[in-house]
């Protein structure tokens, strides 16, 4: 007999089962509603890079509104005093007002209008514009979305700074330069470009009547000293300069290209065109000296030897091999977990993957060992404080070798332990 045919559908257990299913359905429905609300909130989330949604709502409703950077007159929407949108009987006219900034385009996208800058080409509602002209583009009603326009990033990039830090840095640099130039409530002029006043002076000196161009604004904040190498200067306005967007892109691309060329050149100088990480891995696999160092060691793939930083002569050799800079301490920071199930990592395959990861990031990979385990490290130059700043989260200590060969273990709590024999 089929047991399902004998089930008592009116039993208390069955009624409770149905109740549980109904409760779960209600919870799932509430979750969907909440998720939808959160998504709407996320779309309207703003940082200093984004638009003022109250200003956008007021403009759409043809109402007046005023905030620090945005204003709606009812007929026009202004950003920093410049008209970026205005109502038209056939739709909305939009313009970057000659300000090639992320905030300008995010404001236009907030109105439900496509605005995009890709590979040096800027489009408003799919029409290519001259970013310096400030021309208006008429967008018909049928092309305006009820919702803000968003684009999906297919390859999210690693951030060395939070959005908040980027926002704070840009605002501080912009304010600093605008005040210095006496341009209240205006974007500062770019200091790296020839401005109309400069051209007039040049013409006067040379006697050549070259064309006088338009003012070139600084719309993006560029770090003078690398914020990656100098974390303490990430939001310091004195380490920034306002420059045009295209120049900022060029500088960023140049820095990335320089890093890649350096890495390629380094790989090309090694035999068989192998990466340094692979070379270290292959040589170390055949190494028979691993047990000869009781404490920690640093592997030199060139001479195929293990160097002990606690011995001053070998510590000096480590500085020489791994680029110890004059007057600065050489630090070795590991990215390998100190513990994996309370056992040191002895598998060279795991360490090899970490060495490759370091090499791909532009760092010179270094193989070391401590407490019978292996680790993948990278070098850092500077004071002990600089070395500890670059210590990956979760690591117990850094190795610091002074120019005189004295070696120390540095701890995040400030403790410093001499290990030189």
SS (H, E, C) 329-389: EEEEEECCCCCECCECCCCHHHHHHHHHHHHHCCCCCEEEEECCEEEEEEEEEECHHHHHH
Identify the pLDDT of residue 5.
43
Average pLDDT of the segment spanning 401-411: 89
Rg (CA), the chain: 30
Average pLDDT of the segment spanning 304-331: 85
Average pLDDT of the segment spanning 342-360: 81
Average pLDDT of the segment spanning 290-315: 79
Assess whether pLDDT exceeds 80 at residue 266: no
Q: Sign of torsion, CA 364 361 285 334?
A: positive
pLDDT band at 250 (very low <50, low <70, confident <90, very high): confident
* Cα dihedral 317→318→324→326 (10° resolution): -30
Identify the pLDDT of residue 294.
58
Identify the pLDDT of residue 111.
92
| From 21-25, 188-192, 345-349, the region with the lowest mean pLDDT | 21-25
pLDDT band at 71 (very low <50, low <70, confident <90, very high): very high
Assess whether pLDDT exceeds 60 at residue 350: yes
Average pLDDT of the segment spanning 379-405: 86
Give SS3 for 139. Answer: strand
Euclidean distance between CA atoms 355 and 358, whole angstroms: 5
Identify the pLDDT of residue 47.
40
Chain mean pLDDT for the chain: 79
Euclidean distance between CA atoms 415 and 96, whole angstroms: 55
CA 270 vs CA 262, 273, 301, 302, 310: distances in Å:
13, 6, 12, 10, 29
> The tokens of 254 are what?
């140049």
| From 6-10, 353-357, 412-416, the region with the lowest mean pLDDT | 6-10
> The tokens of 380 are what?
């850092």
Identify the pLDDT of residue 43.
46
Identify the pLDDT of residue 255.
67
Residue by residue, what is the 3-state secondary structure of 244-263? Answer: CHHHHHHHHHHHHHHHHHHH
Q: What is the DSSP string of 83-95?
A: EEEEEETTEEEE-
The whole-angstrom distance between residue 420's C-alpha and the CA centroid of its chain comes to: 39
- Per-residue DSSP letter, 270: S
Question: Cβ(136)–Cβ(91) under 8 Å?
Answer: no
Residue 221: partners with Cβ closer than 8 Å, 6 or more residues away? 169, 170, 173, 174, 240, 241, 242
> The tokens of 253 are what?
């691309």
Assess whether pLDDT exceeds 70 at residue 156: no
Question: Cβ(382)–Cβ(328) under 8 Å?
Answer: yes
Residue with tokens 């998504």: 39
Question: Cβ(301)–Cβ(280) under 8 Å?
Answer: yes
Identify the pLDDT of residue 154.
46
> The tokens of 197 are what?
């006043």
> The tokens of 183 are what?
């341009």
Assess whether pLDDT exceeds 80 at residue 119: no
CA 232 vs CA 74, 140, 391: distances in Å:
44, 48, 15
Residue with tokens 């956008």: 56
> The tokens of 162 are what?
């939070």
| From 171-185, 218-232, 333-347, the region with the lowest mean pLDDT | 333-347
Identify the pLDDT of residue 6.
43
Euclidean distance between CA atoms 102 and 124, whole angstroms: 13
Residue-wise pLDDT tens digits, 11-38: 666 667 767 777 777 777 777 667 666 6
pLDDT band at 86 (very low <50, low <70, confident <90, very high): very high
Of the spans 137-141, 156-160, 375-379, 406-410, which averages the highest pLDDT? 137-141
Q: Where are the domains positioned within the chain?
A: 53-143, 163-267, 271-418
Assess whether pLDDT exceeds 90 at residue 210: no
> The tokens of 43 are what?
């779309």
Assess whether pLDDT exceeds 70 at residue 7: no
């Amino acid at each position: 007999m089929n047991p399902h045919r004998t089930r008592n559908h009116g039993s208390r257990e069955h009624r409770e089962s149905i109740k549980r299913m109904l409760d779960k359905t209600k919870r799932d429905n509430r979750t969907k509603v909440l998720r939808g609300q959160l998504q709407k909130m996320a779309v309207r989330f703003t940082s200093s890079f984004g638009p003022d949604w109250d200003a956008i709502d007021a403009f759409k409703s043809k109402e007046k509104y005023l905030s620090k950077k945005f204003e709606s007159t009812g007929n026009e929407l202004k950003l920093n005093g410049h008209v970026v949108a205005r109502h038209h009987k056939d739709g909305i006219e939009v313009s970057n007002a000659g300000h090639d900034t992320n905030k300008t385009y995010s404001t236009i996208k907030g109105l439900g209008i496509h605005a995009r800058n890709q590979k040096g080409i800027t489009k408003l509602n799919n029409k290519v514009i001259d970013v310096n002209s400030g021309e208006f583009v008429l967008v018909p009603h049928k092309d305006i979305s009820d919702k803000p326009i968003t684009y999906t990033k297919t390859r999210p990039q690693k951030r060395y700074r939070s959005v908040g830090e980027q926002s704070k840095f840009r605002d501080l640099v912009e304010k600093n330069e605008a005040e210095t130039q006496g341009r209240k409530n205006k974007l500062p002029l770019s200091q790296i470009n020839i401005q109309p006043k400069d051209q007039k002076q040049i013409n006067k000196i040379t006697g050549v009547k070259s064309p006088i161009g338009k003012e070139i604004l600084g719309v993006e904040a560029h770090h003078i000293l690398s914020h990656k190498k100098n974390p303490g200067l990430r939001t310091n306005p004195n380490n920034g300069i306002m420059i045009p967007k295209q120049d900022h892109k060029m500088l960023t691309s140049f820095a990335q290209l320089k890093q890649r060329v350096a890495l390629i050149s380094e790989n090309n100088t090694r035999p068989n065109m192998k990466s340094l990480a692979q070379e270290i891995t292959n040589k170390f696999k055949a190494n028979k000296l691993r047990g000869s160092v009781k404490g920690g060691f640093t592997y030199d793939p060139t001479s195929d030897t293990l160097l002990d930083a606690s011995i001053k002569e070998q510590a000096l050799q480590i500085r020489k091999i791994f680029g110890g800079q004059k007057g600065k301490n050489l630090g070795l920071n590991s990215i390998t977990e100190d513990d994996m199930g309370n056992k040191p990592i002895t598998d060279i395959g795991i360490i090899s993957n970490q060495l490759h990861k370091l090499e791909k990031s532009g760092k010179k990979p270094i193989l070391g060992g401590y407490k019978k385990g292996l680790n993948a490290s990278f070098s850092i130059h500077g004071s002990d404080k600089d070395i500890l700043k670059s210590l990956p989260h979760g690591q117990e200590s850094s190795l610091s070798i002074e120019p005189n060969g004295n070696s120390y273990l540095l701890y995040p709590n400030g403790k410093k332990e001499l290990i030189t024999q």
